[in-house]
Amino acid sequence: MELTIPVGQDAVWAEHLAGGGVPIVLLHPAIGDARVWDPVLTGLSGRRILRYDVRGYGRSAPPTAGFSLLGDLETVLSQLDLERVLLVGCSMGGGTALSLALTHPERVHGLVLLCPGVPGFPMPDEPELDAEYDALIEKRDVEGLVQLCLRLWGGAGADDAAVAQVRAAVPAWFDQDEYLEPPQPVYDRLHELQVPSVVMIGDKDRPITVAVAGAAAARIPGCEFLWLPNTDHYPSLRQPQLVTDTILRLAGDYDAG
């Protein structure tokens, strides 16, 4: 069932699918929208699933007021009476998943983190890349941003699915700095996590992203670390079966039939 869920003075598009077992919440990356999960949904048939587009992405209207990714996730879960969930987060969505797990550990059954963003990780400066991105944003150059994104994050190929994901995300980037509050750092708190966790990273992702994933997995107690072959920053597009199998494993035993 498709929904429009109020978040503050704005709203987000969401899809809530009825089913059994622990609810599974799919959180998309900043280089896509909730359709990035399309390839895994068939394999999750019979499960209770939630996915939504962050404000300004995909089918959600642009924000008109300041907001945080964690705050919107909390609001969406509360609106749907989802008390304890399995969080599946890709990149930006991974950072949001970590934030909820550290803020409300009682609400999280487990974590599946795909090439996760980890707020607070000491990222190296990339002044040339930052300047290129800022210039494209200033010109509101959609095509330039699409090509930049694919160059950085589409190492497994600029196929139709990847291009569609970038196009669904770019509009959100133009006004993001005005409205999106930066997340609280979590990197130095990863040792506090006490839920089953998996970090997945592709062999065609950016080296810095691989480093972030490895460092995060090393800090999360008992975390499983999985390499994904022929995979860039879109694991759910490139290796949907591996992603689906991992989600189901952490979701626990449940006979969907």
Q: Is residue 165 assigned to a domain?
A: yes
Q: Has residue 207 got a pLDDT over 90?
A: yes
User: What pLDDT, on the 0 to 100 scale, is given for residue 62?
Assistant: 96
Burial class for 177, CB neighbours closer than 10 Å (0-12, 13-18, 19+): exposed
Where residue 257 falls among pLDDT bands split at 50, 70, 90?
very low
Q: What is the pTM of this model?
A: 0.97
Q: What is d(CA 226, CA 250) in angstroms, rounded to the nearest whole number?
A: 14
Q: Provide the pLDDT for residue 59.
A: 97
* Tokens, residue 212: 């972030």
Q: Say what the pLDDT of residue 175 is.
A: 87
Mean pLDDT over residues 98-102, rounded?
98
User: Is the pLDDT at 128 greater than 60, yes or no?
Assistant: yes
* C-beta of residue 223 within 8 angstroms of C-beta of residue 131: no
- Confidence (pLDDT) at 253: 65
Pairing between strand 224-228 and 47-52?
unpaired
Task: Report if residue 257 sits inside a domain.
Answer: no
pLDDT in tens, 40-57: 999 999 999 999 999 999
CATH number at residue 185: 3.40.50.1820
* The pLDDT of residue 256 is above 50: no
Q: Is the pLDDT of residue 212 over 50?
A: yes
Give the pairing type, strands 20-27 and 2-7.
Answer: unpaired
Q: Structure tokens of 190?
A: 């990863």
Q: What is the pLDDT of residue 177?
A: 87
Q: What's the domain range around 93?
A: 2-251
Average pLDDT score over the chain: 96
- What is the average pLDDT across 77-90? 97
Whole-number percent of the chain with pLDDT over 90: 96
Query: What are the tens digits of pLDDT across the range 228-255?
Result: 999 999 999 999 999 999 999 999 865 4
Tens of pLDDT, residues 141-195: 999 999 999 999 999 999 999 999 999 999 999 988 899 999 999 999 999 999 9
pLDDT in tens, 216-234: 999 999 999 999 999 999 9
Query: For residue 240, which amino acid is it?
Result: P
Instruction: Starting at the earlier edge strand, list the strands of the sheet with 197-202.
Output: 2-7, 10-17, 47-52, 20-27, 85-90, 108-114, 197-202, 224-228
Measured CA to CA, the distance from residue 174 to residue 134 in angstroms comes to: 10
User: Based on the structure, what is the number of domains in the chain?
Assistant: 1
Q: Is residue 71 part of a domain?
A: yes
Angle at 108 between CA 199 and CA 245, to 5 degrees: 45
Cα 188 from Cα 208, distance rounded (Å): 18
Residue 95 inside a domain? The answer is yes
> Is 256 domain-assigned?
no
